[in-house]
Structures are given as C-alpha cells and as structure tokens.
C-alpha cells in the first residue's frame, strides 16, 4: 500500500474568499456616468470626492442605469465545495472563471461537513420553505455519514491512481462535497446580480432563498466589495438589493 493511501482527509465547515486583485472605486461609476454630459471632462470626476456624487450613484441604482457599474474589476480566490461551484458557474454574464483541474492534478482530500450552526431541517414547500436547526443527533448522523462516505470514496480514488489509472478517470468516484478552488473575476454590476440571488436579506425587494453554502461565499465577497465601493454598496442596499 502506498503512502498516498494513508492520506488523512480533512473536514471543513467554512469557505474562504480572498480578494486577490481589484481596480474598483466609487469614482469609476461617476466618470463612466458623467461622459454622457461632460464628454472628455468626465475624467475630472477622478479628482473629486466621490461623496459629492452620492446622489448620482443613487439615481443610477434606482433607475437601473447599469452600465456605469461595469467599469471596474475584482478578482476573488475562492475555496469551497464543488457543489457551491456548480451553482456559482451558472452566473454567466460579467464573470470569468478558472478552476483547479481534476485532470492535471491529484485532488486533495479536503471535504465539507456542515458546522454546528448550519440549519439542517427543511420545512414547508419548495420556493417557500424554511430551514430550522437540527438536533444534536442529526448533526452527529450528518458528520458520521459524510466522513465515512468521503473516506471510502477518497480511498477508492487513491486505489485507482495507485493502479496507474488516469486522474481524469479515477475522479469519477469523488463527491461534490470535495473542496475545489477557483479565481472568479467580476464587476460591480455582475456582483450585485449574483448577490441579489445568492444572499437572503430582509430588505431585498425580490427575496431569494439561496443554499447556505453559496451564501457564505457571497457574504464574504460582499464585505470585500463594500470596502472598495462603499457608496455603491450603500445605494444597492438602499434600493432593495436589485442589480441595476
Ligand atoms: C434560489 C435559486 C434556486 C435555483 N434553482 C435552480 C434549479 O433548480 N435548476 C436550475 O437549473 N437552476 C437553478 N438556479 C440557477 C438559476 O436558474 C440561474 O442559472 C442562476 O441564478 C444564474 O442567474 P442568471 O442567469 O440571471 O445569471 P447570469 O448568467 O449571470 O445572467 C445575468 C443576466 O444576463 C441576462 N442573460 C444571461 N444569459 C442570457 C441568455 N442566454 N438569454 C437572455 N438573457 C441572458 C439575464 O438578464 C440574466 O439575468 C437557481 C438559482 C437560485 C438563486
């Protein structure tokens, strides 16, 4: 038996988001919008205090003039389970993705197990259901079942690799709770659309009911974006979290 077969799996209940690169500021919204009326003088908006343009940013958000919110860029490095990425990659417009490959690298045994605060029980009907806390016993069943299944599947994966089978074939046994990593690049407009669908907020004009794990990613992205573009973020909140 190879050393690889003794690899100890890791179980995580968190997701991580790092902002690795950004060119994004409230003033980017202002100069892009001001070209309508000021032409080449719109770049002077770069020198101005963006606070002075709070009214303009709110107007653009409220009336859904979306394009001035596209002239910026944020790149995030995200570690999350594969089932989160399956949902994430449905967001097509204004997003670029690159993810680690199960063909070119041996996938690491890092798996998702819900934490103690993850609500486990679904009540109600689809589209109108709520999640409530699980009992201690339910949490124990979830952790035991997931860990046993993860260990068995990773062992099968390694047995195949050990026998000389290609990674792209062996990976078929790995579950969607396996962690993956990717870069995701977006702009404020595409991020707002994502946030409107992948977070649950009391003040949302159009409520959404996302899976908690993608919401955990979305919340971290939103916090980083709000630091870069506080006025735009405040306008998004004020106008009911509707992407312009
Ligand atoms: C709570 C929830 C439950 C979901 N459940 C399911 C499910 O059960 N099954 C399932 O398959 N998916 C499901 N989804 C995924 C959903 O259908 C969308 O694929 C996902 O939310 C991405 O939304 P989007 O297409 O608006 O985003 P993007 O792809 O980023 O598109 C942004 C916007 O661009 C425009 N656009 C993009 N592409 C086109 C196009 N081809 N034609 C016209 N306009 C376009 C639209 O205005 C769109 O809103 C769910 C999503 C959520 C939030």
pLDDT tens for each residue of 79-126 = 999 999 999 999 999 999 999 999 999 999 999 999 999 999 999 887
pLDDT digits (tens, 9 = 90+) for 186-202: 999 999 999 999 999 99
Protein residue with its CA nearest to atom 34 in ligand 1: 93
Q: What is the pLDDT of residue 36?
A: 79
Length reported for the chain: 244
Ligand 1 binding pocket includes 93 (Cβ within 6 Å) = yes
What is the value of pTM for the model shown?
0.95
State if residue 66 touches ligand 1 by the CB under 6 angstroms criterion: no
Token match 């605060």: residue? 117
Whether the predicted pLDDT of 5 surpasses 70: no
Q: Which of 120, 135, 156, 133 minimizes the C-alpha distance to 9?
A: 156
What residues are paired with 121 via a beta bridge?
132
What does the H/E/C string look like for 134-163?
Answer: CCHHHHHHHHHHHHHHHHHHHHHHHHHHHC
Phi, psi of 156 (to 5 degrees): -60, -40
DSSP 112: E
Strand partners, 132: 121
Ligand 1 binding pocket includes 129 (Cβ within 6 Å): no
Compute the distance between CA of residue 39 and CA of residue 97 in angstroms, rounded to an integer: 34
Cα 72 to Cα 236: distance, rounded to the nearest angstrom: 16
Report the candidate in 177, 17, 181 with the shortest Cα–Cα distance to residue 113.
Answer: 177
Contacts of 86 (CB under 8 A, 6+ apart): 176
Q: Report the pLDDT value the prediction gives residue 4, as an integer from 0 to 100.
A: 53
**Set 34, 171, 189, 198: catalytic member:** 198
């Amino acid at each position: 038996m190879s050393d690889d077969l003794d690899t100890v799996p890791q179980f995580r209940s968190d997701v991580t988001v790092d902002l690795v690169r950004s060119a994004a500021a409230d003033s980017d919204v202002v100069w892009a919008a001001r070209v309508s009326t000021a032409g080449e003088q719109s770049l002077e908006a770069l020198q101005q205090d963006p606070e002075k343009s709070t009214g303009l940013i709110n107007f653009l958000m409220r009336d859904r003039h979306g394009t001035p919110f596209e002239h910026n860029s944020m790149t995030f490095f995200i570690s999350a389970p594969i089932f989160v990425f399956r949902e994430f990659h449905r967001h097509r417009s204004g997003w670029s993705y690159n993810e680690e490959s199960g063909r070119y690298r041996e996938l690491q045994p890092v798996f998702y197990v819900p934490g103690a605060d993850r609500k486990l029980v679904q009540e109600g009907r689809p589209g109108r259901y709520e999640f409530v806390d699980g009992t201690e016993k339910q949490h124990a069943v979830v952790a035991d079942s997931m860990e046993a299944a993860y260990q068995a599947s990773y062992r099968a994966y390694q047995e195949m690799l050990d026998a000389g089978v290609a990674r792209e074939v062996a990976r078929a046994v790995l579950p969607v709770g396996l962690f993956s990593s990717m870069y995701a690049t977006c702009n404020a407009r595409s991020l707002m659309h994502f946030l409107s669908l992948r977070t649950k907020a009391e003040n949302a004009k159009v409520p959404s009911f996302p899976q908690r794990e993608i919401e955990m990613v979305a919340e971290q992205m939103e916090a980083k974006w709000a630091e870069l573009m506080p006025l735009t973020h405040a306008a998004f909140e004020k106008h009911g979290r509707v992407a312009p």
